[in-house]
């Protein structure tokens, strides 16, 4: 996990653009999902969340083949994420969140996402609402990738 994001952090702007486009070609439904949910974000926030989705994708791709994710899997994962909002609003948020199967299986990926989203000195300042939405978007991305690579 750490090696992947550190490698991507070293990409030039041109290489990042090229790789982001490749991500969009390899995973059109997943990239479209991320962009659609980020539609109301400011451009820099949208770019940040899309970049994080790309990094998460690369984390999975680094260890196994990732087939193209069909819309049905994305829709199912999105629905499960939406249903988990009740868990996120509970008083025992962390205890309940720890019970979510993908959180247990992909704890290092979720750790990267959480640290990047909630970092105090982040290069892109996210509002609390943007952080929450970005977390839900990226949870859905992780759940989809976990499902097709299991």
Mean pLDDT over residues 56-76, rounded?
95
Can you give the pLDDT at residue 92?
65
Cβ atoms of residues 24 and 31 within 8 Å: yes
Cβ neighbours, 10 Å, residue 115: 11
Can you give the pLDDT at residue 91?
65
**12: phi then psi, degrees, rounded to nearest 5:** -75, 165
145 vs 110 pLDDT, higher one: 145
Confidence at 5, pLDDT banded by 50, 70, 90: low
Nearest to 136 by CA among 1, 34, 27, 24: 34
Can you give the pLDDT at residue 139?
93
Nearest to 111 by CA among 77, 102, 149, 145: 102
Range of 37-41, 91-95, 121-125 with top mean pLDDT:
37-41
pLDDT, averaged across the chain: 85
Q: How many CA atoms lie within 13 A of 68 on its CB side?
A: 10
Cβ atoms of residues 147 and 77 within 8 Å: yes
Is 70 exceeded by the pLDDT of residue 71? yes
Give Cβ neighbours of residue 65 (< 8 Å, ≥ 6 apart): 149
**What is the per-residue pLDDT across 77-93, written as a single tens digit (0 to 9) for each?**
999 888 877 666 666 66
Q: How far is CA 80 from the centre of its chain?
A: 15
Q: How many CA atoms lie within 13 A of 29 on its CB side?
A: 14
Confidence at 98, pLDDT banded by 50, 70, 90: low
């Amino acid at each position: 996990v750490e090696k992947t994001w550190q490698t991507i952090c070293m990409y030039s702007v041109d290489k990042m653009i090229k790789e982001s486009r490749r991500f969009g070609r390899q995973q059109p439904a997943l990239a479209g999902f991320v962009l659609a949910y980020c539609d109301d974000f400011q451009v820099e926030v949208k770019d940040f969340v899309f970049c994080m989705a790309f990094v998460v994708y690369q984390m999975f791709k680094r260890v196994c083949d990732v087939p193209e994710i069909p819309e049905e899997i994305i829709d199912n994962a999105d629905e499960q994420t939406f249903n988990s909002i009740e868990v996120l609003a509970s008083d025992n948020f962390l205890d309940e969140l720890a019970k979510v199967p993908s959180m247990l299986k992909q704890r290092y990926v979720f750790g990267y996402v959480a640290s990047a989203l909630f970092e105090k000195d982040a290069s892109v300042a996210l509002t609390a609402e943007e952080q929450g939405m970005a977390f839900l978007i990226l949870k859905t991305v992780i759940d989809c990738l976990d499902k097709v690579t299991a």
